[in-house]
């Protein structure tokens, strides 16, 4: 695997200097978590309601994006490609969006490592063809791949409920859920799902949140288990207004809708991380793949797609982009890292960078006040009651407005 997992705490307002902690393992590269300062010039005064990032936060966010683009290949040069995985026989893993890009590579490598891989996809036929292709390429080993396909459309919350009900009905353990599927329709006009939600917010945040919540009974059966959300550095220029998730009041920009959805995912994941009891044994991780040439870019303007083709050195391919999610899903240090963050009451869940080292989420992601609002609004929008998590942990049935 990638090696050493380390975390450098960012300074809080009451601390003048940062302290650092380290988990020992095999040597690796010098991955560092960034620092967080709580606010940012240009923002509204503390206690006042903000509706956008402060200008300094916004500039720092874009600097982080540009820095990732320019230096990600150098920072991740210590990683093997493909990432070395441990034997995964007997491990059940659900991967959404597994027919292209990062998700395809995640599913393929997990299946080759012996895991029971469930490809949760919109196009089952394509997934079946991929499994057959992988099996043919792996025929010399003589071992059949343990992979199956289940239909899931994240643009339909009814489909999410149907998928979760079908899996939970098996009464089988689920060891890892990888929420990989996502969209980035840059330059496109605003679109809404049939559920009435802005499409970036639904596919990138709301549907994965509902899926994670509804699969908690199976994740408890598979404990220790993990929920891995494939996120993005773009969350650092996002801002989530809990009263306007769907960007009806604010001017719509596709890049902003994408960034907001990724920030909402970090915030919800952080609240889920804080609220799940340690004894439940479910770790929550957000993994940033880096800047990757995948089908997420299929809706980009043609000139931008062409630029992607002319800049191969800077941009990861799907296999390289899959490494952080695979690390988050399989490395034995990750649950210990999550437990450490929980014990320190860290405001953000574990975030793993493209170089398989911890990263610090954006300043805005550290705001517990807005994270709580995102938690409450998300549960409302996905049709779950406020006490859904407590009931699911207790083994009780929780009604959902969707899937009836």
Per-residue tokens: 380: 């409302």
Cα 49 to Cα 46, 60, 146, 262, 295: the distances in Å are 8, 21, 51, 21, 37
Per-residue tokens: 56: 């300094």
- Quote the CA–CA distance of 382 and 119 in Å, as a whole number: 23
The conformational region for residue 29 under phi > 0 = left, psi -120 to 50 = alpha, else beta, is beta
Q: Are 154 and 96 in contact (CB under 8 A)?
A: yes
Count other Cβ atoms within 10 Å, centred on residue 282.
24
Q: Enter the DSSP assignment of 278.
A: G
Find the DSSP H helices in 240-367.
254-275, 302-310, 318-321, 323-330, 333-343
Across-strand partners of 285?
A: 228, 350
Q: Which is nearest to 88 in space by CA: 64, 71, 109, 60?
A: 109
Helix axis angle, 333-343 to 254-275, nearest 10°:
80
Half-sphere exposure for 366 (CA within 13 Å, toward CB)? 20
Per-residue tokens: 392: 């699911």
Q: Are 142 and 127 in contact (CB under 8 A)?
A: no
Across-strand partners of 226?
A: 176, 283
Considering the candidates 258, 337, 354, 402, report the single residue annotated as catalytic: 258
Is 258 in the active site?
Answer: yes
The conformational region for residue 338 under phi > 0 = left, psi -120 to 50 = alpha, else beta, is alpha
Q: How far apart are the first and last CA of the chain?
A: 43
Name the residues annotated as catalytic: 258
């Amino acid at each position: 695997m990638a090696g050493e997992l380390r975390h450098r705490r960012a300074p809080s307002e009451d601390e003048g200097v940062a302290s650092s902690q380290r988990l020992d393992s095999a040597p690796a590269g010098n991955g560092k978590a960034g620092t967080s300062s709580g606010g940012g010039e240009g923002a509204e005064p503390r206690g006042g309601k903000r509706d956008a990032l402060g200008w300094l936060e916004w500039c720092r966010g874009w600097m982080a994006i540009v820095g990732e683009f320019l230096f990600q290949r150098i920072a991740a040069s210590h990683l093997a490609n493909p990432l070395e995985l441990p034997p995964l026989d007997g491990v059940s893993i659900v991967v959404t969006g597994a027919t292209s890009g990062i998700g395809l590579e995640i599913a393929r490598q997990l299946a080759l490592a012996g895991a029971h891989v469930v490809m949760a996809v919109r196009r089952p036929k394509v997934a079946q063809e991929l499994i057959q292709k992988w099996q043919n390429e792996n025929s010399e080993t003589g071992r059949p791949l343990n992979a199956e396909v289940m239909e899931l459309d994240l643009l339909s919350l009814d489909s999410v409920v149907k998928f979760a009900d079908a899996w939970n009905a098996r009464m089988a353990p689920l060891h890892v859920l990888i929420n990989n599927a996502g969209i980035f329709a840059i330059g496109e006009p605003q679109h809404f799902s049939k559920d009435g939600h802005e499409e970036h917010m639904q596919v990138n945040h709301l549907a994965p949140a509902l899926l994670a919540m509804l699969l908690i009974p199976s994740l408890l059966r598979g404990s220790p288990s993990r929920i891995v959300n494939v996120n993005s550095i773009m969350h650092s220029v996002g801002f989530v207004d809990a009263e306007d998730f769907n960007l009806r009041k604010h001017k719509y920009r596709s890049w902003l809708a994408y960034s907001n959805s990724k920030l909402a995912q970090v915030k919800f994941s952080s609240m889920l991380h804080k609220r799940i009891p340690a004894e439940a044994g479910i770790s929550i991780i957000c993994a940033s793949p880096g800047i990757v040439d995948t089908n997420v870019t299929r809706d980009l303007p043609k000139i931008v797609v062409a630029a992607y083709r002319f800049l191969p050195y800077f941009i990861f391919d799907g296999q390289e982009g899959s490494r952080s999610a695979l690390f988050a899903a399989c490395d034995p240090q990750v649950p210990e890292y999550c437990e450490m963050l929980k014990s320190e009451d860290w405001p953000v869940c574990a975030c793993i960078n493209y170089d398989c080292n911890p990263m610090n989420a954006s300043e805005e992601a550290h705001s517990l006040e807005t994270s709580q609002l995102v938690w409450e609004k998300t549960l409302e929008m996905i049709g779950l009651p406020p006490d859904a998590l407590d009931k699911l942990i207790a083994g009780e049935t929780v009604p959902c407005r969707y899937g009836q």
